[in-house]
Amino acid sequence: MDVYQTEEEQVESLKKWWAENSRAIFFGVGLSLFAIFGWQSWKEQTQTHALEASDLYQQLAQSMKDSKFDAALLLANEISTSYADTAYGPLAGMQKAKAQVETGDRKGAISTLEGVAVADGNSSIRHVARVRAFRIRVGDGEMKAVIADIDSVIAEEGGINPGEFIGQYEALKGDAYRLLGDVEKARHGYIAALRNATLDHRLIQLKLDDLGPPPASFAGNTTEVEAAEK
């Protein structure tokens, strides 16, 4: 503000400035208050939304525990429809698939799990869903298709890295080859699984042992793991 010669001139200048800028000031203050209250309202709604999803998921989990699968399916569908934007959406999908298997809808379970694998942003949940879908498919006789799909997942570049789940994928390949009667490829699958598995080492070793001793041409003078790596 300029320096004025008299106090009267300063007062008149302030009045003029206020007349020109008061609307903008009130608008700015109102906008700021709206943003603050809007943010608080949104935050409260988000928390309420998450709590509602949590409550429904607890009911879903209890229904599964009590083997009330029809009720579980209804709850899972409600969560998937109204609360898919929460962390409980994919978890409800996993429970839904389990309920579908229990009620004999294996194709529906596969579809549900594949939907979770595609939609969820958490790579661990995506892999768990995909592994469960593969297991159902192997049980339904889709061994060759599952082997091909697993190879695609493992070889995938720039996409989802199997990471710690590679052992589970390899174990599934071992199961598929064993069911196909290809003992040596099953052996390779289980050995690769043991090399990479973070879980189920004992179960995988039992499956490997159940195949019987490897032929001399397989192991030679090395261990089975070393032979599989060649």
Question: What are the pLDDT digits (tens) for 161-193?
Answer: 566 788 899 999 999 999 999 999 999 999 988
Specify the number of domains making up the chain.
2
Please spell the DSSP secondary structure of 137-159, one letter per residue. HHHTT-HHHHHHHHHHHHH--SS
What confidence tier does 222 reach under pLDDT thresholds 50, 70, 90? very low
Residues 60 and 125 reside in one and the same domain: yes
Within-domain flag for 217 = yes
Q: What is the pLDDT of residues 79-103, one digit of tens each?
A: 999 988 888 999 999 999 999 999 9
Residues 32 and 113 reside in one and the same domain: yes
Within-domain flag for 166 = yes
Q: Which of 76, 105, 140 is the last residue of a domain?
A: 140
Residues 35 and 115 reside in one and the same domain: yes
Residues 185 and 219 reside in one and the same domain: yes
Residues 228 and 170 reside in one and the same domain: yes
CB 208 within 8 A of CB 190: yes
Residue 3 has pLDDT above 60, yes or no: no
Within-domain flag for 172 = yes
For the chain, percent of residues with pLDDT exceeding 90: 43
Q: How many of the other CB atoms lie within 10 Å of CB of 145? A: 13
Residues 37 and 101 reside in one and the same domain: yes
In 77-142, which ranges are E strands? none
- List CB contacts of 125: < 8 A, sequence separation 6 or more: 90, 91, 94, 116
Torsion of CA 79, 83, 88, 94, to 10 degrees: 40
Within-domain flag for 66 = yes
CA torsion sign, 45 to 47 to 51 to 54? positive
CB 171 within 8 A of CB 204: yes
Rg of the chain over CA atoms, in angstroms?
31
Can you give the residue range of the structural domain that contains 210?
151-230
Q: Which of 81, 112, 140 is the last residue of a domain?
A: 140
Residues 127 and 39 reside in one and the same domain: yes
Within-domain flag for 146 = no
205: three-class secondary structure by DSSP: helix
Residues 135 and 30 reside in one and the same domain: yes
Residue 41 has pLDDT above 80, yes or no: no
What per-residue confidence (pLDDT) applies to 113? 95
Residues 32 and 134 reside in one and the same domain: yes
| Average pLDDT over all residues of the chain | 81
What per-residue confidence (pLDDT) applies to 149? 94
Q: Which of 88, 120, 140 is the last residue of a domain?
A: 140
Within-domain flag for 195 = yes
Burial class (CB in 10 A: 0-12, 13-18, 19+), 33: exposed
For the chain, percent of residues with pLDDT exceeding 70: 67
Q: Kindly report the CA angle at 217 between 214 and 218, in degrees rounded to 5?
A: 45
